[in-house]
Amino acid sequence: MTRLVLASGSASRRAILEKARVAFEIDPADIDEGAVKDRFGGTPGELALELARQKALAVSPRHPGAVVLGADQVLEFEGRAFDKSGNEAEAREKLVMLRGRSHALVGGLVLARDGKIIWQHQSRCEMHVRDFSDAFLDEYMREAGSILTAGVGGYAYEGLGAQLFDTVEGDFFAVLGLPLLPLLGALRKHGVLAS
């Protein structure tokens, strides 16, 4: 079987692959995401794919013959891309902005081998945030802790963050940042998993 290398330090992506019993190594990409975002002129979805591409291509030369997975996710709200919050105050401001409204989590996945892209995938999940009370928000902020700055939305949908939503349209794994089923198909096609 071909080796798989995850070009990310994301705990969520690592956990998804581990639970699916996919063998992989971790070698986080060291790219200047801020510089990519500053000069990028496309949509938030295209930005997520571009960041995933750059991560995979940065790590691929260090692992000859291996398949390298680059992944990224961007929060899109009213046509703009939003980053992770830098602190709790920014996270609260973002949650207030999203309250009672919808946003999208757009993601990009890329597989590279020997410095060439061999597969890519885009995902989009529509997230409908409920009109929660200030009291709920205060309690959520107390309970969430590091969740507030770990993901682009300030929530971990697989846990406490689920209480923020009325409905979600899209793949559960894509919400978490790794659309698993399309990825598993690509890994079988490229010899990482048995077919």
Contact between 110 and 84 under an 8 Å Cβ cutoff? The reply is: no
To the query of whether residue 166 is one of the catalytic residues in this protein, the response is no
Secondary structure element (H or E) that encloses residue 91, with its range: helix 88-98
CB-based contacts of 180, cutoff 8 Å, min separation 6? 16, 20, 171, 173
Residue 70 burial (CB count, 10 A): 28
- The whole-angstrom separation of Cα 139 and Cα 120 is 39
Q: Which of 32, 72, 134, 166 is catalytic?
A: 72
Give burial (CB, 10 Å; 0-12/13-18/19+) of 177: buried
Which positions are catalytic?
72
